[in-house]
Amino acid sequence: MTLPMAEHSTEHFTGSFTQQEPIPEDAIEAAVAVLRHGRLHRYNLVEEEAGEVALLEQEFAAMTGAKYCLAVASGGYAMATALRALGVGQGEAVLTNAFTLAPVPGAIASVGAVPVFVGVTEDLTIDLEDLAAKAGQASVLMLSHMRGHLCDMDRLMAICAEAGIRVIEDCAHTMGASWNGVASGRHGLVGCYSCQTYKHVNSGEGGLLITDDAEVAARAILLSGSYMLYPRHLAAPGAEVFERVKYDTPNISGRMDNLRAAILRPQLRDLDRQVRRWNERYHVLEDGLRRTPGLTVVERPEAEVFVGSSIQFLLLDWSAAAVGAVLSRCAARGVELKWFGVAEPVAFTSRYDSWRYAPTQPLPKSDRILAGIIDMRVPLTFSLDDCALIARIIRAEVSAVWQGGV
């Protein structure tokens, strides 16, 4: 296929798609204070000291409106802990999105359960018709708000309530987002969040779990490795709840430490401002991509408050060769795109039929959509001018390949 030269072909982006902003100075000072006193373990406290982890949990519970919060080692650990706290075990089916990343089915497999994949729509959200059709197959849904796209949560919760399905929300990409005024993570029984470097707050690794269910919270705290030190938690149920479950809940240590919590607390206080900054960049990219021939912009519903830390668009019904040409041409001009239709997993990108530990059934409608999903990170190190340049490059290269014939 011979492709014409794209307009603005001399423009080149030189920034990094993996470079985050520096840790804020007040977070650095808090971390240094922890290093100076040396009490990194969450339960290593002096008299009257609450500890950074307990304070982080208390503050995140207040921020989301949840009764209880637990800080753990990663978002994936939070999801596996939620499943265990709900009693999900060997051989049990768990519904989850076909469009997600490996830690979600990985958490399901880690407790011996079996993922049952639900399709994806062109809005990049879970297919609610497919969910309703499969509702009788499981009692738990691990709902992935993949890449920050929220489905109609009111309708989803109605489907799940009617079928007796308990919902765990994977909010790795939706910390700071909401649906109809309800914070992401607060519709389901449990909400799980990630604090990994590429998420909305950065401690390298880390996770948070919230719930209003006292017994789920108590089991999660014991599972995380509290031993009998659970009274040191500030965002936890009363001792009487632990008395009911403490002898039959295993210790599967995955606590967060005081160093990471100290880094996170100032970032949480600044989250609203950071969300506004991400969305400014997202809208510049979105506006620059609109009306590009052959490219479909994913429209966001009015009920959704999202966090534009990444952006997706669709090259629906393009050939694999044509999509590959777009990626190669953009990469040559410094723009790093990921493709969920690629045959083999690449870095963080994989799809439901990549995970051979999970049985799969044909999902032809979803396969068509996955084959067209193009994904890009939007670090806050990008300026608005950077975003406009990136959009021009993508637009030019998509147009060039489209004109060359897909």
Q: Which amino acid is at 98?
A: A
The range of the structural domain enclosing residue 121 comes to 25-269
Q: Nearest-5° angle of CA 51, CA 187, CA 234?
A: 15
pLDDT band of residue 223 (cuts 50, 70, 90) is very high
13, part of any domain: no
200, exposed or middle or buried, with CB in 10 Å at 0-12, 13-18, 19+?
buried
- The per-residue pLDDT for 6 is 43
Higher-pLDDT residue of 7, 174: 174
The domain boundary residue, chosen from 269, 303, 328: 269
The three-state DSSP-derived secondary structure of the chain is CCCCCCCCCCCCCCCCCCCCCCCCHHHHHHHHHHHHHCCCCCCCCCCCCCCHHHHHHHHHHHHHCCCEEEEECCHHHHHHHHHHHCCCCCCCEEEEECCCCCHHHHHHHHCCCEEEEECECCCCCECHHHHHHHHHHCCEEEEECHHHCCCCHHHHHHHHHHHCCEEEEECCCCCCCEECCEECCCCCCEEEEECCCCCCCCCCCCEEEEECCHHHHHHHHHHCCCCCCHHHCCCCCCHHHHHHHCCCCCCCCCECCHHHHHHHHHHHHCHHHHHHHHHHHHHHHHHHHCCCCCCEECCCCCCEECCCCEEEEECCCCCHHHHHHHHHHHHHCCCCCEECCCCCCECCECCHHHCCCCCCCCCHHHHHHHCCEEEEECCCCCCHHHHHHHHHHHHHHHHHHHHHCC
Note the pLDDT of residue 278: 98
In a domain, 315, yes or no: yes
Two tokens, residue 152? 């109609």
245 lies in the same domain as 307? no
243 lies in some domain: yes
More confident call, 108 vs 343: 108
Indicate the pLDDT class of residue 2, thresholds 50, 70 and 90: very low
pLDDT of residue 5: 42
Closest to 196 in 3D by CA, of 30, 377, 42: 377
Given pLDDT bands bounded at 50, 70 and 90, which one contains residue 4? very low
| Residues in contact with 182: Cβ distance below 8 Å, sequence separation at least 6, in sequence order | 153
224 and 354 in one domain? no
Q: How many domains does the chain have?
A: 2
- Whether 310 and 400 map to the same domain: the answer is yes
Is pLDDT larger for residue 3 or for residue 364? 364
Residue 10 inside a domain? The answer is no
The model's pLDDT over 265-287, given as tens digits with 9 standing for 90+, comes to 999 999 999 999 999 999 999 99
Does a structural domain hold residue 125? yes
Do residues 62 and 159 both lie within one domain?
yes
Pair (245, 323) in one structural domain: no
pLDDT per residue as tens digits for the range 164-174: 999 999 999 99
Contact 54, 232 (CB under 8 A): yes
Shared domain for 215 and 289, answered yes or no, is no
Residue 86 has a pLDDT of 98
Both 249 and 291 in one domain: the answer is no
Answer whether residue 4 is part of any domain. no
Residue where one domain finishes, among candidates 247, 269, 291: 269
Residue 47 inside a domain? The answer is yes
What is the rounded CA–CA span in Å between residue 36 and residue 85?
Answer: 36
**Is residue 107 located within the same domain as residue 218?**
yes
One-letter amino acid of 115: P
81 vs 348, more confident: 81
pLDDT at 3: 41
Nearest to 383 by CA among 134, 29, 21, 122: 21
pLDDT in tens, 27-85: 999 999 999 999 999 999 999 999 999 999 999 999 999 999 999 999 999 999 999 99
pLDDT bucket at 7, cuts 50 / 70 / 90 = very low
CB 255 within 8 A of CB 70: no
pLDDT in tens, 228-274: 999 999 999 999 999 999 999 999 999 999 999 999 999 999 999 99
Is 114 inside a domain boundary?
yes
- pLDDT given at position 406: 57
CA distance 125 to 180: 16
Q: Residue 282: which of 144, 180, 379 has the closest Cα?
A: 379
Residue 224 sits in the same domain as residue 289: no
Tokens linked to 333? 């001009």
Domain's final residue, options 232, 251, 269: 269
Which CATH number goes with the domain that contains 340?
Answer: 3.90.1150.10
**Are 375 and 147 contacting, i.e. CB atoms less than 8 angstroms apart?**
yes
- Do residue 288 and residue 211 come from a single domain? no
The answer for residues whose C-beta is within 8 angstroms of residue 107's C-beta and 6 or more apart is: 76, 79, 80, 83, 142
Burial bucket for residue 368 (CB in 10 Å: 0-12, 13-18, 19+): middle
Only one residue has tokens 């209003």, namely 212
Distance in angstroms between the alpha carbons of the first and the last residue of the chain:
9
Per-chain mean pLDDT for the chain? 95
Any bridge partners for residue 224, and if so which? Answer: none
